[in-house]
């Protein structure tokens, strides 16, 4: 803080006064010495001693005042000036102009003590001159009294001049103080700083005992001066003890200068606050709009209205539940349920329901049946903050409605998708059944054709194939082959293999050989029609993927609890990566597609039939171009379980 009259300035003034007094005394010493030299008579020795002593005293008064009280030395100096003049008047002839030395004493008193010093110096000089004349009454005449009139005139003139000069100096100081205070106020960058500087200058520069910038209603009996700032009901309250009209006038002038500065700072603070609220609002809207579900959106609202800050809550009015944000008391919830949004709750109601620190509560809609509550502590909300909270609440409500609509549409879409998938699966099953049955119809039809040519030789086999054809037609009517519904009966796997080989010889003129290992019969309990489908599919694939005339070997053997049948060919072979996939429905390897046509159904159907008999089926191959072996293992336990 800069003050108009700092301490070093007062010290410099004191130094200049001391120098001026020394110059006045040196002039008095010079005049006294001249009078002594020019005087025809008188006690020159005593006069010279007086001059020397006064010169020493002048130096002491000038250079010794810094070590003792300066005010005391100043008063002693006035007395010394009068005594010096009186001593020389007493030693010089009575008709000499030694009385002029009193003029220096009067001038010094005026310089050090103002107009009252001039009056006091004049009175002292007149009295001292009268005493000196009285002591020399025998030498004095009436004519010698005229210097008294001159001294009085000089004193009065100096008193008036000093008074005018002091008044001008005081006014200049006051103007400098006011100008310095105005400059200091203009440098304030905030409302609080402006208030501090204003009250500091009123106290330090204008002499007030106490000062403060407060609302008019807060000023009590301590202030005897009130100056309105004309902004928000603020006043400058000050106490001047004793009352000082000049200080009060300067304080009033400074208040007049502070009022426009205060308006500017208030407007700037309002703009800055509006900009900050706008930034927080943009952040809040970004956070709110970034949420994709109602839970996260409500969580953002509960965490300071998505970025607006402050105690915040989202309340469902139907049951008074706080669904997000800070907890609220029962009184607050009851007040919210009775209020109509948007609204602002303030005053004692806000403090009673939302806490003693609450100065204002903003309630805005936040979706169907819910409100957003923002509590402002220590101050009331501004218009910009009210608009921001309302906009966040409206945005959140619209977004919650959109999220609800989206979730409803998503749920309906999921239901439609599930229904579509179910219909697609049913259609695929029907299509698969159709393709499978059509595929299986080809073999018995071909067999019937071949057996018809040789019916005289193999009538029984032809009848079996006709029965198989009738079963496949039944499967087609029922939507596909039901391999889980088996017509189990006793059969010989070796006999079934030989019949299947005979069918391939008739159909394709294939070289199919059937061998038995370890026994001449392998009784099992199976569905003979389904088993014929498996054998026909395996042998048909072996014939298709083998060179024409290549040998195909079927081997039947018993291995403990299982009966195994192997179909070996010397055809295209199977890559290692395709050994597991050849049993997948509709799957055909690149080599298979290049070698011959097909649908990829036969092996998948064979796997399903074997598994229905609690058996196993797999493929083995040394690689592409090196033939393949398909192995079927049927447990002997099947017959035991069905007996």
Return the HEC string of 158-196: HHHHHHHHHHHHHHHHHHHHHHHHHHHHHCCCCHHHHHH
Least confident interval from 280-289, 322-331, 563-572: 280-289
Take residue 529 and report the two structure tokens written for it. Answer: 């029609």
Domain assignments of the chain as residue spans, ordered by start: 7-168, 188-268, 295-409, 483-642
Q: How far apart are the C-alpha atoms of 60 and 529, rounded to whole Å?
A: 148
3-state secondary structure of 99: helix
pTM: 0.37
Confidence of residue 470 (pLDDT cuts 50, 70, 90): low
Phi, psi dihedrals of residue 634, rounded to the nearest 5°: -115, 130
- CATH domain 483-642 topology: Heat Shock Protein 90 (3.30.565)
Identify the residue with better confidence: 617 or 411: 617
Architecture per CATH, domain 295-409, reads as 2-Layer Sandwich (3.30)
Q: Which residues contact 90 (CB under 8 A, 6 or more apart)?
A: 132, 135, 136
Model pLDDT for residues 143-160, shown as the tens digit of each residue: 555 565 566 666 666 666
Model pLDDT for residues 597-635, shown as the tens digit of each residue: 656 778 888 999 999 999 999 999 988 888 899 999 998
Q: Which residues contact 224 (CB under 8 A, 6 or more apart)?
A: 238, 239, 240, 241, 243
348-372: burial string, b at 16+ Cβ within 10 Å, e else: eebeebbeeebbbbbbbbbbeebbb
Q: How far apart are the C-alpha atoms of 524 and 561, rounded to whole Å?
A: 11
> Does residue 241 carry a pLDDT above 80?
no
Q: How far apart are the C-alpha atoms of 194 and 254, rounded to whole Å?
A: 12
576-587: burial string, b at 16+ Cβ within 10 Å, e else: eebeeebbeeee
Residues 633/562, Cβ–Cβ less than 8 Å: yes
Least confident interval from 25-34, 485-494, 593-602, 627-636: 593-602
Most confident of 132-136, 420-424, 603-607: 603-607
DSSP string spanning 559-589? Answer: ETTEEEEEEEE-SS---GGGTTGGGSTT---
Burial of 255 (0-12, 13-18, 19+ CB in 10 A): buried
Q: CA nearest 534: which of 440, 414, 409?
A: 440
Q: CA nearest 236: which of 200, 264, 268, 263?
A: 200
DSSP lists the bridge partners of residue 618 as 631
Q: Note whether 295-409 and 483-642 share their fold.
A: no
Identify the residue with better confidence: 360 or 582: 582
């Amino acid at each position: 803080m800069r003050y108009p009259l700092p301490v070093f300035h007062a010290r410099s003034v004191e130094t200049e006064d001391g120098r001026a007094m020394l110059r006045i005394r040196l002039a008095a010493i010079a005049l006294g010495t001249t009078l002594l030299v020019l005087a025809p008579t008188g006690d020159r020795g005593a006069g010279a001693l007086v001059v020397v002593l006064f010169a020493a005293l002048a130096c002491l008064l000038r250079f010794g005042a810094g070590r003792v009280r300066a005010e005391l030395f100043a008063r002693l100096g006035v007395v010394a000036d009068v005594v010096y003049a009186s001593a020389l008047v007493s030693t010089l002839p009575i008709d000499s102009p030694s009385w002029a030395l009193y003029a220096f004493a009067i001038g010094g008193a005026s310089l050090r003590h103002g107009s009252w010093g001039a009056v006091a110096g004049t009175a002292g000089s007149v009295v001292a001159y009268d005493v000196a004349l009285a002591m020399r009454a025998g030498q004095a005449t009436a004519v010698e009294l005229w210097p008294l009139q001159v001294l009085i005139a000089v004193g009065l003139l100096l008193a008036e001049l000093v008074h005018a000069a002091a008044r001008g100096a005081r006014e200049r100081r006051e103007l400098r103080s006011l100008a310095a205070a105005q400059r200091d106020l203009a440098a304030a960058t905030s409302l609080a700083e402006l208030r501090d500087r204003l009250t500091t200058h009123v106290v330090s520069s204008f002499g007030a005992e106490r000062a403060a910038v407060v609302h008019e209603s807060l000023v009590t009996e301590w202030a005897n001066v009130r100056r309105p700032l004309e902004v928000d009901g603020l006043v400058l309250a000050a106490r001047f003890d004793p009352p000082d009209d000049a200080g009060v006038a300067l304080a009033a002038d400074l208040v007049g200068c502070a009022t426009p500065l205060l308006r500017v700072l208030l407007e700037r603070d309002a703009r800055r606050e509006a900009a900050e609220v706008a930034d927080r609002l943009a952040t809040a809207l970004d956070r709110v709009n970034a949420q994709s579900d109602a839970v996260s959106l409500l969580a953002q609202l509960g965490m300071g209205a998505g970025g607006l800050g402050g105690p915040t809550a989202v309340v469902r009015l139907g049951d008074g539940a706080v669904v997000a944000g800070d907890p609220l008391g029962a009184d607050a919830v009851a007040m919210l349920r009775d209020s109509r949004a948007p609204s602002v709750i303030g005053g004692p109601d806000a403090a009673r329901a939302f806490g003693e620190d609450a100065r204002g509560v903003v309630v805005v809609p936040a979706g169907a049946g819910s409100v957003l509550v923002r509590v402002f502590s220590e101050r009331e909300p501004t218009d910009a903050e009210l608009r921001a909270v309302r906009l966040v609440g409206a945005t959140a409500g619209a977004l919650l409605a959109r999220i609800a609509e989206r979730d409803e549409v998503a749920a309906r879409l999921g239901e439609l998708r599930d229904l579509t998938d179910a219909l697609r699966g049913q259609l695929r099953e029907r299509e698969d059944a159709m393709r499978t049955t059509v595929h299986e119809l080809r073999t018995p039809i071909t067999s019937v054709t071949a057996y018809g040519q040789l019916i005289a030789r193999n009538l029984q086999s032809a009848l079996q194939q006709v029965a198989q054809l009738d079963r496949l037609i039944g499967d087609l009517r029922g939507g596909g082959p039901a391999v889980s519904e088996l017509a189990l009966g006793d059969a010989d796997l070796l006999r079934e293999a030989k019949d299947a080989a005979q069918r391939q010889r008739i159909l394709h003129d294939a070289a199919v050989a059937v061998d038995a290992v370890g026994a001449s019969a392998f009784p099992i309990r199976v569905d003979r029609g389904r088993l014929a489908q498996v054998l026909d599919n395996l042998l048909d694939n072996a014939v298709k993927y083998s060179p024409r005339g290549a040998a195909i070997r079927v081997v039947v053997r018993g291995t403990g609890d299982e009966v195994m049948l192997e179909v070996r060919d010397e055809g295209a072979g199977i890559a290692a990566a395709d050994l597991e996939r050849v049993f997948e429905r509709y799957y055909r390897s690149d080599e298979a597609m290049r070698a011959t046509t097909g649908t990829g159904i036969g092996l998948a159907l064979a796997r399903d039939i074997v598994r229905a008999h609690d058996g196993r089926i797999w493929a083995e191959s040394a690689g592409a171009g090196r033939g393949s072996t398909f192995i079927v293992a049927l447990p002997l336990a099947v017959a035991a379980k069905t007996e």
